[in-house]
Amino acid sequence: MRTPIAYFLVLSGVLFAIGSVGVLIRKNALLIFMSVELQLNAVNLALIAFSRMHADLTGQVLAFFSMVVAAAEVVVGLAIIVSVYRRRQTVNVDDARELRW
């Protein structure tokens, strides 16, 4: 493999930054959630790049666990979004800012 490892890490950083901009500027809870997914994937890419750089499979195992936890997180998060939508008829995060029952 002749591509320098740092290229992958820069790509990972760029994707993470785009994901965090998405979290900061979007108002739709679903789009915020997709941006979080993008960030998780960027971190997975960094983990696997480091795994390749050190020739150690532990990084890949960690990325695997990260994917499993992300799947669980998506399931619970989408259930919460559906539940909020039923209560308020909106998924705009600015409308759901009262932290009360």
Using CB under 8 A as the binding rule, whether residue 61 contacts another protein is answered as yes
Using CB under 8 A as the binding rule, whether residue 96 contacts another protein is answered as no
Please report where in the chains the tokens 């994901």 appear, as a residue.
19
Using CB under 8 A as the binding rule, whether residue 99 contacts another protein is answered as no
CB 57 → another protein: shortest distance, Å?
5
How many whole angstroms separate alpha carbon 33 and alpha carbon 23? 8
CB 100 → another protein: shortest distance, Å?
18
Contact (Cβ atoms closer than 8 angstroms) between residue 81 and residue 33: yes
Footprint on residues 27-56 left by another protein (CB under 8 A): 27-28, 30-31, 33-35, 37-38, 41-42, 44-45, 48-49, 51-53, 55-56
- The site that binds another protein (CB under 8 A) totals a number of residues, namely 72
Using CB under 8 A as the binding rule, whether residue 10 contacts another protein is answered as yes
- Residue 14 has a CB neighbour count (10 Å cut-off) of 11
How many whole angstroms from its chain centre is CA 65?
14
DSSP conformation class of 55: T
